[in-house]
Structure 1
Amino acid sequence: MSSVCRRLHGLFAKSTAASTKAKANANLNSLPKTASTKDIKLKKLVDKFKKSSELISFRNNQGIYHFTVRRLAAAKKFSMIEEILEAQKKYKDITNEGFSIRLIGLYGKSGMLEHAHKLFDELPELNCERTVRSFNALLTAYVNAKKFDKVVEIFHELPSTVSIESDVISYNIVIHAFCEMGSLDSAISTFDALESKGIEPDLITFNTLLNALYRDQRCLEGERIWDMMESKGIVPDVRSYNSRLRGLVYDNRILEAVELVGEMESKGIKPDTFSYAALIKGFCSEGNLKEANRCYSELQNNKCTPDVAIYTALVPLCCKVGDLKMAFNLCLDAINHRLLIKETVLKRVVDGLVEEAKIEEAKKLVDLVKSSKYFNYKLQLTPLVT
């Protein structure tokens, strides 16, 4: 049992010890007679949560709120989410903007945007000061629900009606929304508007733009934003460098990407999985297995956990150049890390092993895939492996 679950159980048990069995049965009687066992359990969870909310220590535990709402959302019990969150309004905590922001965020993560917006609108009558913090929480709720066009609409229309001035976080959120929509020109225009209002962009602003521009292979604009970031004295972090690395690789400038990794290390920024993934992808695109393998070794030496993109690039190249031993070992590593390599990639390795009469290795790979609960397919190679 996880620590959150144990804490949840402990607090529920503490707060419900005095509850009578008759009251619990009365609550359950509100369920329809056709209610499933799962529905009954969730109803008990809701009742215990509401009772436990009477404790200040419980209301201060954000993890329990997130755990419970996530569980109800997974079961699509949105009316139950509304029941437990609306019940929080009777406590004095609701006058604390931080507590109210948490509730807005929980509604947002559950996709209950109307409820999130309604709570934001109600804050003044709940005697809760409504500032740019709760405005940003509302924007984030729409981002979490991937309603990016609505984020833009609210950003432009709401502040003037509620007398709130957007801050750099507000701008970061809407720039992110534009980037997710693929409207990079609008994202850059918003960035320019931020500066015209005398608001200084921060590292998050630049990282959001750099990631989107390099991802869209708009490398020249990415370099311009990078230069602007440095001119403002904002120190790039590993995420900044990884965006630029991907851009250089997209632009087939692999040697410059290698030099950039050296620059990272000279500045005390340790390359991570995504740094190595960019280099490996670049070398694999050039058919340079030797250098790709060297990067993979460095990744392991630096105790970085590889991601599936690394194996997706490396394994086919190994097969292409005929290094089935390395391809086999890479597949074993990927399965050990519980990474879901595509069936077509694994099949290519197994078929290659069979062609080289390495039947035991082929069988081992097939058996590992079949026995693993992490793969959503079963490798069927009976005609080849007998």
Structure 2
Amino acid sequence: MSVRWPRLLTPTHLSQLIRSQKNPLKAMDIFNEAKTRYPSYRHNGPVYATMIRMLGSSGRLTEMKEIVNQMKRDSCECQDSLFAGIIRTYADAGLFDEAFSLFNSLPEFNCVKYTESFNTLLEIMVKESKLEACYHFFVENCHGWEIKSRTRPLKLLMAALCQIHRSDLALHVFQEMGHQWCYRDRDTYRILMKGLCEDGRYTEATHLLYSMFWRISQKGCGSDVSIYRMLLESLCDNGQAGEAVEVLEKVLLKGLRAPKRYMKQLDLSEFRYRGDVKALINEALIRGGVRSSDGYKAMAIDLYSEGNIAEGDKVLSEMHKKGFKPSLPMYEAKIAALFNAGKVDEAMHVASKEMIENDCVPTVRLHNIVIRGLCSTRESTRAIRYLEKMSRQIGCVPNKETYSYLVDGLCCDSKYVEASQMLEKMLINAHWPGEETYNKIIKGLCLMGETYRAVMLLEEMISQAKIPQLSVWYSLVSSVCCESHRSDDLSVKLDHL
């Protein structure tokens, strides 16, 4: 397709031209040709970002690196978020040396701050369990003026230490945060509390919880309940129900500011002699301590994520009694939990009726959770019908994630013709799938004898500068040979490819 160049080229116009190309190499040709056609034109940061992200998302890392080097030579002003994305792309491809090399060369670029790039590399190292490297990288780079805030890096370091069961060292980092003028927020407490409980350091965990009462829980914030539950349930699991009850009493009084009338009604002594102490503790927190929508939300999401659907439903029921309405994240957690438990019909009832009755409008994210759940339970046909319903909702447009779930689900159900049709819709909406998706569908179509459709899909794949696997060619040749009455036409098409 020929490109219609304007009389006067602006960076915004060039970005639009690049994004309209489905072939990243064609987009790169347009990017390079712009300077030749318009001698006075200069690329800016957003244009470089558009080109780099397009090449990175299509796996063209050699070409991406070439554009990055060109950006450095141009001394073009660029955002830290762009480098963080490039680092993540290198890491996803297993090119950790390239990621480190780029970070070390950031002073050579026209980028003043690179806090996000620093944090991204730390996150990657924690995820890949490169914990010793994470520590050395942090020590060597955290003191530069380019790193705007040390709060997030310190939290990542704490998470790394907890991951290797050194919560004692994470506790030292937590204490050091105060000396570094770093605010210890609720997430910081959550990370450390989880690490201490997993390591069985209940004394330190209890002291940490009590410190919350006068640091971040002074107003009785309900969302703190998820951190409280972490310690209470861990004590119960460790056979320390009595200690859990003692902590619960302080949580209700000082942490969640439970009403005095409730404390008078609550008989904590009976908890020690009941087998279902954890259930009683959850009930006490729900009815006596949680008095805000944030508190109900935190507790319900925790329970649903743990697969405890019955207890999560109790939270929703109590929430209704207190005059609060469930929020969208609560329904997302409930639907995901129901799908994980294999309760497909119940999940669909929540998505199609229960939410609507409570004036909660589904979003694309929620629709994607439903479609993913249907496809994971081998209900891909039902997922297609749900997509049609989703498309009728005003302002709710299926995205790349939506189509990817459907294509993968149809392939898992060996419905390759339907998968290829869904892929066509994906392309019409300018969402470009990866090479693995094409390879999977083409081989599946060949197995079903849909050779012509497979060849057409191969042609589309090559037009996007994607390289088929060798096994794809074997499948096509084998399929063509089996269909002797159509082999001449197909052979001609394959020769062109």
CA contact 1:142–1:148 (8 Å) conserved in 2: yes
Cα offset, 1:129, TM superposition: 8.5
Checking the alignment, whether the CA contact within 8 Å between 1:311 and 1:330 is kept in structure 2 is yes
The structure 1 residue matched to 2:327, chosen from 210, 234, 237, is 237
Matches within 5 A, 1:1-386: 1-2=48-49, 6-8=78-80, 42-43=103-104, 45=106, 64-71=114-121, 74=124, 78=134, 79-86=136-143, 101-108=151-158, 111=160, 117-123=171-177, 126=179, 128=181, 133-134=184-185, 136-140=187-191, 150=198, 153=200, 157-160=204-207, 164-165=211-212, 167=217, 168-173=222-227, 191-192=282-283, 194=285, 198=289, 200=291, 201-213=295-307, 219-246=309-336, 250=341, 252=343, 254=345, 257-258=348-349, 260-265=351-356, 267-275=359-367, 277-278=369-370, 282=374, 289=381, 291-301=382-392, 302-305=396-399, 306=402, 308-317=404-413, 319=415, 325-333=417-425, 336-338=431-433, 341=437, 347-352=443-448, 354=449, 358-366=450-458, 368=460, 379=472, 380-381=474-475, 382-385=477-480
Question: Could you say what secondary structure the match of 1:68 adopts?
Answer: helix
- C-alpha distance in 2, partners of 1:72/1:174? 28
C-alpha contact (below 8 Å) 1:211/1:243 kept by paired residues: yes
| Shift in CA distance, 42/186, structure 1 to aligned 2, threshold 3 Å | farther
Deviation, structure 1 residue 206: 1.2
The answer to whether the 8 Å contact 1:176/1:187 transfers is: no
SS of residue paired to 1:6 = coil
What letter is aligned with 2:151?
A: I
Distance 1:258 1:310, change over 3 A: farther
| SS state at 2:362 partner | coil
Q: Give yes or no for contact 1:280–1:295 (8 Å, CA) kept in 2.
A: no
- Distance 1:312-1:48 versus aligned 2 partners, 3 A rule: closer
The superposition leaves residues 10-43 of structure 1 with CA deviations (integer Å, 9 ceiling, x where unpaired) of xxxxxxxxxxxxxxxxxxxxxxxxxx99877655
**CA distance 1:280–1:134, shift in 2 (3 Å):** closer
**Uncovered stretches (5+) of structure 2, i.e. residues with no partner:** 1-47, 51-75, 82-96, 238-275, 482-497
1:81/1:280 CA distance change after superposition, 3 Å: closer
Q: After superposition, give the CA deviation of every residue in 1:34-83 in whole Å (9 maximum; x if it has no partner).
A: xx9987765554x789xx9xxxxx7xx7xx31222424665865323212
Number of corresponding residues: 315
Pair 1:148–1:378, CA change in 2 (3 A): farther
User: Separation in 2 of the partners of 1:328 and 1:161?
Assistant: 55
Give the alignment's Cα RMSD to 1 decimal. 5.1
Alpha-carbon distance between aligned partners in 2 of 1:245 and 1:41, rounded to the nearest angstrom: 41
- Note the C-alpha offset of 1:293: 2.9
Residues 385 and 260 (structure 1), Cα distance of their counterparts in 2 relative to 1, 3 Å cut: same
CA distance in 1, matches of 2:123, 2:379: 46
Instruction: Tell me what 1:20 maps to.
Output: none
Instruction: Identify if the C-alpha distance between structure 1 residues 229 and 268 changes in structure 2 by more than 3 Å, giving closer, same or farther.
Output: closer
Query: Deviation per CA, 1:159-191, whole angstroms, max 9, x where unpaired?
Result: 526960354555425757999xxx8x9986774
- The TM-score normalised by the length of structure 2 is 0.48
| Cα 1:189/1:136, change in 2 over 3 Å | farther
The Cα shift of 1:127 comes to 7.5
* Cα deviation 1:282-328 (Å, max 9, x = unaligned): 59968793x54321222334303205433333445573xxxx64332
C-alpha distance in structure 2 between counterparts of 1:243 and 1:262, whole Å: 16
Unaligned segments of structure 1, at least 5 residues: 10-35, 53-57, 94-98
Task: Give yes or no for contact 1:245–1:278 (8 Å, CA) kept in 2.
Answer: yes
How high is the TM-score relative to the length of structure 1?
0.59
Is contact 2:335-2:370 (8 Å) kept? yes
Cα distance in 1 for partners of 2:229, 2:441 equals 37
**1:245 Cα deviation from its structure 2 partner:** 3.4
Residue type of the alignment partner of 2:174: F
Give the structure with higher Rg (CA). Answer: 2
Q: Distance in 2 between matches of 1:135 and 1:239?
A: 19
Q: Which residue of 2 aligns with 1:16?
A: none
- Other structure's SS at 2:457 match: helix
Counterparts in 2 of 1:186 and 1:100: CA distance versus 1, 3 Å:
farther
Q: 1:105 Cα deviation (Å)?
A: 2.4
Quickly say closer, same or farther: Cα 1:127–1:211, change in 2 above 3 A: closer
Local SS of the residue matching 1:165: helix
Structure 2: distance between partners of 1:178 and 1:343: 50
